[in-house]
Every structure is written in structure tokens, then in C-alpha cells.
Structure 1
Amino acid sequence: MPARHSLVWLSADGWQRAAQAAPADYRAVLARWQSRDWPAVLRRRQPDTPEDQLCLGLALPPDANGDKGRIPFQAQFGDVGRIADPLALRAALPHAPPAWSRALHAFAGDCLHSGIAMRIYGSWAWQILTQQNYLTRTSDIDLLFTPGSTEEFRRGIALLAQYAARLPLDGEVVFADGQAVAWKECWQALQAGNGQQVLVKTRSAVRLAPMADLVATLENA
């Protein structure tokens, strides 16, 4: 099963079937996404989703009031053309807004030096993928960090905390089986010590779990 935030391109028949099953208000947007060959994003699986279907979504650029429309829909596995990981941070650097550019290049360089891979999702990713205007003065940089060991996890969290003073860094740490926790919650839990619980997002649910249990999945990797 692909991970949340994966980029999903549908076949022409897939887009048509998704549009037919979606509310009428969504159909014109889905048709536009198909015509531009833009991807959808894999979202958390809803409890009533048939086994042969994926839960997908796409986000619209903010309107005049700053509100962002989000369109959830479903598609069959057989209608998927291809699936890709979220955009790598280093590949996104040429598209960084000027206000972020210098600090973001420094952050990416430190990540590379430390052997840490970051990926992006959210508004900045949508802007790169569709070339529409998603970013505003209050936009965050949504990052995905998937550590392979406890030591990498602690190095990555420390880098995120270090650069958060210079950049609007947000996003998630992804543990085993796609369990995701906001990196800021991870940082706060590490500062507070053992026993702290954090909000965990899985492929199909949201729950509370001890931070120590998630770290243990890295120790046993």
C-alpha cells in the first residue's frame, strides 16, 4: 500500500470514473486535473472505503479570502497510471520563494551532510506540481521525514528545531507502517522525557501513542 501524501496519476478512464462518482460540484475540477495531467494525493483511508479503491484528494489555490478548497474522492486501484513519492526537498529548491531561499538552501545542505532525506507536500508542492499560486505570506513548508534509525531521527529532529527559527517548518515524521507524527510534537515529547503521548496518523485512523513506542520501532528496524 502506498503511503499517505504519495502522488497518484490516474488513467483517462480513471479520471472519468472518479468524476462520475464525485459530487457534481467537483466534476469540472477533476476534468481540469485530467486535462493538465496533474496528480492527486493519497489521503487517509476512510472506514467505508471498498478494498479495491484508494482515497485521494486535491487542493485548490487559495481564493480571495485565503480559503483553500479541498476535494476528496475515490478511485479504483486498476485506474492508477502511476504512483510517485512526494517531491524531494532538494528537487524543489529551484522553486523556493526568495524569502525562503537562503535559509532553505542552508537547511537542505545540512540535511545532505547529515544523510537525512526530506520531502515536501502541501501548498508548496501543489504550486510546483501545477504552477498555480498556492503560497501566501503565511504559508508553511510542509516536510516529510522518514528516519531509518533512532540516531537519524534525533539528528533530523534537531535540524528541524534549529532551522524553525528561520523558516516556517511544519510537517511530519513518518515511522514504521506509515505512522506519522507532527515533528513539533516529536520535539516537544523528546524534551519532556519518557511517557509523553503524541497524536499518530496512520493510513486509516488517528490515535494517541507513547513517543517511546514509536522510537522503539526505529530501534527494531
Structure 2
Amino acid sequence: MFARHDLVWLTSRGWQRVRATVPPGALDRLDAWRDAGWPAVVRRAEIDLAPGEVAIGFALPPGADGKVRVGCRAELADIGRRTRALPLVGALDAAPAPWRDALAALERQAAEAGLGLAVYGSLALQALTGQSYLMPTSDIDLLLRPLNRAQLMTGLDLLARHGALLPLDGEVVFPDGRAVAWKELRAAFDGAPGTRVLAKSLERVGLVKPDELLATLEEDAWLD
């Protein structure tokens, strides 16, 4: 099962099909992407997506025309390899020096708590490609995937604490694949009962009550 922010590498036939659907002005840069062996990123499915297809995208390195994003589709048979989003530990060396120590401390503390953080967006692309994506206004987009409620609350506390030093953003991904901005979720816990949050999945976006998402988590560790 695919999820938003997954990384996929296309087969030769996959690249041929992608090239046939993208604007001519992007072909040279997309060919360079292909030749470098870099992955595409899974994005939210489109309404008319056919069975056996997955929506993918390429965020090309910024140039004189700014950031160029190419959205397309691939058949499952044209995907040679897939991984989840890049683990944060794999992006630490690509982080700017002012972020590096604080980001490494966050990753270490999360690992000690049994939490695996992943990264997407500009920092992940910079780590994966070696190209310059980050700007002074860039955020650090993280994914927290808790298994139980204790992990969720520990992760939210870690993100909030380190967010005082780093421009942290990103999402909490629940076991059923729905994802909520971690800042929005934390605010909902502190807000009025009945507050809804915007949950995104591969197929849809909708407002839900946090309790509906909490019900997808394991209960045992929360009760310990």
C-alpha cells in the first residue's frame, strides 16, 4: 500500500511513459533527474486515477524559473522500487550547519523514545539529490508515525520542545494512513471539545475529530 511522501524509482518503461505526459519545457531537467537515479515522490491520488496507477511527482531543483513541480502518474508495474519517506537520520548531513546539532538532538531523543522520524520536502530532496533546495524561509517537514497513544504524546512534546529552536513543520501519520499537521493536532488537544482537524490520506481530505484518529492507535502503552 502506497502512502503520501513515499519514494519510488521508475523502470525504463515507466520513464518512457512519464516523458510522454510532461510539458516539453521540463523534459531536459526531468531527463537529468532520471539519469541521476533520483526517486519520484508519491502524492495524493487524483479523482480519475485508474486502478493500478499511482500519482507521483517531481520537485525539480530550483532554477531561474523558481521551483518547478511535475505531477504525473505511473502504473504499478512501472515502479521498480519503493521505500517510505527518508528517515531523518539520513538527512542530517544535508541540513544547514545552524540546524544540524539541534536536529541531531531531536533525532537522538526520538530514537531513545522508540520513535522513528522521517523527513520530506526541501530537506529530504536536498539530502536525496545533493542539490540546493533549502532557503532561509524553509521549514523542516517531519513525519511522526506513532503506534500507540503514549508514542503520540511523547512525539508531540518532542516536536513542540525542539520547535522552539528549529522551524519544524510536518504531520502525524496514523496507522490507517491519515495524516494531520502535528501543530494542528496539538492545538486541538488543548482546545475546545469537538474541535476537528484536517486529515489527509492518499485518497481523500476531510475534517475529523481527533478521537477518531486516536481510535486507530494501540491502547496498551497508553494505560501503562
How high is the TM-score relative to the length of structure 2? 0.93
Identity of aligned residues (%): 44
Aligned residue runs from structure 1 range 27-38, under 5 A: 27-38=27-38
Contact 1:146-1:173 at 8 Å conserved across structures = yes
Report what 2:104 is aligned to: 105
Report what 1:89 is aligned to: 88
Report the AA paired with residue 43 of structure 2: R
Report the AA paired with residue 59 of structure 1: A
Contact 1:7-1:41 at 8 Å conserved across structures = yes
Aligned residue runs from structure 1 range 120-159, under 5 A: 120-159=119-158
Aligned residue runs from structure 1 range 16-27, under 5 A: 16-27=16-27
Per-residue deviation, residues 81-125 of structure 1 (Å, max 9, x unmatched): 100111111222222211101211211121122111100000011
Offset, 1:219: 3.9
Report the AA paired with residue 218 of structure 1: L
Figure out how many residues of one structure are paired with residues of the other and give that number. Answer: 220
Q: Comparing 6-15 with 93-102, which one deviates more in the overlay?
A: 93-102
Contact 1:86-1:119 at 8 Å conserved across structures = yes
The 3 A distance-change label for structure 1 pair 216 and 152 is same
Could you tell me how far apart the structure 2 residues matched to 1:26 and 1:77 are? Answer: 23
Contact 1:20-1:27 at 8 Å conserved across structures = no
Offset, 1:58: 1.1
Report the AA paired with residue 9 of structure 2: W
Could you tell me how far apart the structure 2 residues matched to 1:94 and 1:27 are? Answer: 30
Aligned residue runs from structure 1 range 69-80, under 5 A: 69-80=68-79
The 3 A distance-change label for structure 1 pair 204 and 26 is farther
Offset, 1:133: 0.5
Contact 1:89-1:120 at 8 Å conserved across structures = yes
Secondary structure in 1 matching 2:165:
coil
The root-mean-square deviation of aligned C-alpha atoms, in Å, is 1.6
Aligned residue runs from structure 1 range 169-184, under 5 A: 169-184=168-183
Per-residue deviation, residues 163-205 of structure 1 (Å, max 9, x unmatched): 1110000000001321010000011011115311000111111
Q: Comparing 34-43 with 55-64, which one deviates more in the overlay?
A: 55-64
Aligned residue runs from structure 1 range 205-216, under 5 A: 205-216=204-215
Report what 1:194 is aligned to: 193
Contact 1:194-1:211 at 8 Å conserved across structures = no
Could you tell me how far apart the structure 1 residues matched to 2:89 and 2:23 are? Answer: 37
Offset, 1:28: 2.5
Contact 1:45-1:204 at 8 Å conserved across structures = yes
